[in-house]
Amino acid sequence: MSGIVVFREETPEDHPAIRELLSAAFKRSGEADLVEALRKDGDLVFGCVAAVDERVVGYAALSRMSAPFPALGLGPVAVSAAHRSKGVASALLRWSLARARDDQWRAIFVLGDGAFYGRFGFRPELAAGFGSPYAGPHFMALALNGALPAKEGRVDYAPGFGQLRP
Ligand SMILES: CC(C)(COP(=O)(O)OP(=O)(O)OC[C@H]1O[C@@H](n2cnc3c(N)ncnc32)[C@H](O)[C@@H]1OP(=O)(O)O)[C@@H](O)C(=O)NCCC(=O)NCCS
C-alpha cells in the first residue's frame, strides 16, 4: 500500500469503479449514466482517473462540445469522500488541462463554482458572449493555446448532457 495518488487516462477496466465513484459522490446515478452515454456516443475525449493503490478515488470527464472552435466541456468531476480536501480534484484538473493543451484544444467550458474553478483560470466573463442553456454566472471558460479564437457564438455540450437533471 503506497498511498501515492497516480493520475492517468481511464481504461475500460476502470468503468465499473468510475460508475461507483460518481454514483456515491453525486448520490444519484445521473452523472454515471452521463459518462456512459458520452462514451457510447463517442463524445468522451478523455477521462482522467486518480488512483491510489490501483483503486479509483477521483475522476474528471472531458467531452467534445459543439462550438465555433475546438472546445471541451469539463465535468463531471468527483473525488471519493475519504480522499477530499487533499488536492486530488485540483491535481485532476491540472492533469486534464495540460492534456487538453497538448492536444491543441482551444477552450474548456465548465458549469460550476467560480471560487474553485477560478483557481485554474476559468472565468465567467470569457463565457459570457456565448449562447448556451447554461449561460449565467456559473458558466465559465478557460482559453488554451492563446486567446479564444472567437468571443461569441453558440456552444453546446454533447447530446448526452441532455438527459442530466440539474
Ligand atoms: C468538489 C470535489 C470534486 C472537490 O474534490 P477535492 O479533491 O476535495 O478538491 P481539492 O482538495 O482539490 O480542493 C478542495 C477545495 O475544493 C473546494 N470545494 C470542495 N467542494 C466543493 C464544492 N462542492 N463546490 C465548490 N467547491 C468545492 C473547496 O474550496 C476546497 O477547499 P478546502 O479543501 O480548503 O476546503 C469533491 O468535493 C466532490 O467530489 N464533491 C462531490 C461531487 C461534486 O460536487 N463535484 C463538483 C461538481 S461537477
28 within domain boundaries: yes
Ligand 1: residue of 79, 83, 117, 119 to mutate (most ligand atoms within 8 A of CB) is: 79
Count of structural domains, the chain: 1
Question: What is the C-alpha separation between 62 and 116, in angstroms, rounded?
Answer: 17
- Whether 163 contacts 37, CB under 8 Å: yes
163 within domain boundaries: no
CA of 86, closest atom in ligand 1: 11
103 within domain boundaries: yes
94 within domain boundaries: yes
The pTM (predicted TM-score) of the whole model is: 0.95
165 within domain boundaries: no
Domain that holds residue 70: 5-158
> Coil, strand, or helix at residue 7?
strand
Q: Give ligand 1 pocket residues (Cβ under 6 A).
A: 25-26, 75-79, 84-90, 112-113, 116
Q: In the structure grid, which three cell numbers stand for residue 95, read together? A: 492533469
166 within domain boundaries: no
Question: What is the C-alpha separation between 88 and 118, in angstroms, rounded?
Answer: 16
76 vs 3, more confident: 76
164 within domain boundaries: no
Question: CATH number of the domain that 61 lies in?
Answer: 3.40.630.30
Give the residue carrying C-alpha cell 480522499.
83
> Coil, strand, or helix at residue 92?
helix
- Report how far ligand 1's centroid is from the alpha carbon of 85 (Å): 7
Question: What is the C-alpha separation between 65 and 110, in angstroms, rounded?
Answer: 11
pLDDT at 3: 85
| 1-37 confidence digits (pLDDT tens) | 678 999 999 999 999 999 999 999 999 999 999 999 9
45 within domain boundaries: yes
| 80-138 confidence digits (pLDDT tens) | 999 999 999 999 999 999 999 999 999 999 999 999 999 999 999 999 999 999 999 99
pLDDT at 165: 83
| 47-64 confidence digits (pLDDT tens) | 999 999 999 999 999 999
